[in-house]
Chains A and B, each alone.
Chain A
């Protein structure tokens, strides 16, 4: 049996240290090792985006990230979006705008959207569509998702959508 590898990183602002199997991906490490079940396993091949997390602020597919490569890095998941009982504006807009149907893609959508708004607080509709271009919604509810992201952006800028 191959020895496990020690790994430490920051998960949603908290120092996290655990052991990973050789070849383990970040998604498994987050879900089974760190107990953060918000990133989802969809396709395991980089097509669906359900496992999207931010690594040092940039969106990455956690199912295709070798866990060992995130040593010392900053990981953000949907699990860290809310501030206690207060939802993040993106979560609030998704909820109010019925942007989640089955909800399986939502965690990845939220992180792709957060990466966009962190970089471009006032995106165009086309920029939103591009930002979630790697995230599939099998319920095909894309319009409410795009609307919700634009609504959140407007609220975060103190504007009406």
Chain B
């Protein structure tokens, strides 16, 4: 494949340079892999000399530049709620390279951070100024040709957010599934719960029936029983080298129960 690298000065220029045959280079963990394996779907790499790796408080949440790496997240006190997620993504080299913006496009079994963002009701800011909810962005990402500028994450207390990555390899492997939960009122009666599964469909998906079943309930065996029963409703798990669809459906309630009741393995 004959490739062209189009290096531009600003993110805005990069957004203009993107088209159906061009891909933006973030950290390289997705795009260079495609290059190495001869992906014919694009013939141009667009890279920008300007990157946005800033992470800062803004309004009622934090703004994370799309160019921030997993290592950047781990170094940021503002992003502390996301540390358990960033810490289990890859090894140090991957974390030095993989970006927040790139993770939004990562196909299963990757995309743990995007799963967390979905549960946290984050918003995607595009380079053209447009904003959209994470759920809308993820459902349309295969058709997206815009450039992600940043992710806005509503501030969430550490007690309100839980994340679990289920792998077949210890201490670390890719996700057989990941589960992220925002649990307001976790100490008593649950409020507006958001529950997201990664690697249980072509993109991170919400378990809306389980969310509904948890509202007004408490995090007890009784309180979560109905949510466990319906937790796979609306999910689209597939079969791959890590697990079959059947296995994923069987174990999803087990791992969700551990997460909700705070019983790690």
Residues of A within 8 A of B (CB): 1-2, 5, 21-23, 25, 44-46, 49, 52, 58-61, 63-66, 68-69, 112, 115-116, 129-135
> Shortest CB–CB separation between residue A56 and chain B, in angstroms?
10
B3 within 8 A of A: yes
Known contacts A2-B3, A59-B92: does B29 contact A64 (CB below 8 Å)? Answer: yes
> Shortest CB–CB separation between residue A38 and chain B, in angstroms?
16
Which residue of the partner chain, among B7, B37, B96, contacts A59 with CB atoms under 8 Å? B96
- Interface size of B by Cβ–Cβ distance < 8 Å? 27
Complex alpha-carbon distance, A61 and B97, angstroms = 8
Cβ contacts under 8 Å, B29 to chain A: 46, 61, 64
For this complex, 13 residue pairs linking A to B, each with C-beta atoms less than 8 Å apart, are A22-B4, A23-B45, A44-B36, A46-B90, A46-B94, A58-B71, A59-B96, A60-B96, A61-B94, A66-B5, A68-B5, A131-B92, A133-B91
Contact B45 A66 (CB under 8 A): yes
Complex alpha-carbon distance, A49 and B36, angstroms = 15
Cβ contacts under 8 Å, A64 to chain B: 27-29, 32-33, 36, 97
CB-nearest residue of chain A to B93: A59
Residues of B within 8 A of A (CB): 1-5, 7, 25, 27-29, 32-33, 35-37, 45, 47, 71, 90-94, 96-97, 171-172
Known contacts A5-B5, A133-B172: does B91 contact A63 (CB below 8 Å)? Answer: no
Complex alpha-carbon distance, A45 and B94, angstroms = 11
Known contacts A22-B4, A23-B45: does B37 contact A44 (CB below 8 Å)? Answer: yes
Complex alpha-carbon distance, A2 and B85, angstroms = 41
Contact B3 A22 (CB under 8 A): yes
> Shortest CB–CB separation between residue B22 and chain A, in angstroms?
12
Which residue of the partner chain, among A25, A66, A134, contacts B91 with CB atoms under 8 Å? A134
Which residue of the partner chain, among B32, B93, B172, contacts A66 with CB atoms under 8 Å? B32
Cβ contacts under 8 Å, B33 to chain A: 44-46, 64
Cβ contacts under 8 Å, A46 to chain B: 29, 33, 90, 94
Known contacts A2-B4, A133-B171: does B93 contact A25 (CB below 8 Å)? Answer: no
Contact A23 B3 (CB under 8 A): yes
CB-nearest residue of chain B to A45: B33
Complex alpha-carbon distance, A63 and B35, angstroms = 10
Contact B32 A25 (CB under 8 A): yes
Contact A45 B5 (CB under 8 A): no
Contact B35 A61 (CB under 8 A): no
Contact B36 A45 (CB under 8 A): yes
> Shortest CB–CB separation between residue B210 and chain A, in angstroms?
31
Cβ contacts under 8 Å, A1 to chain B: 2
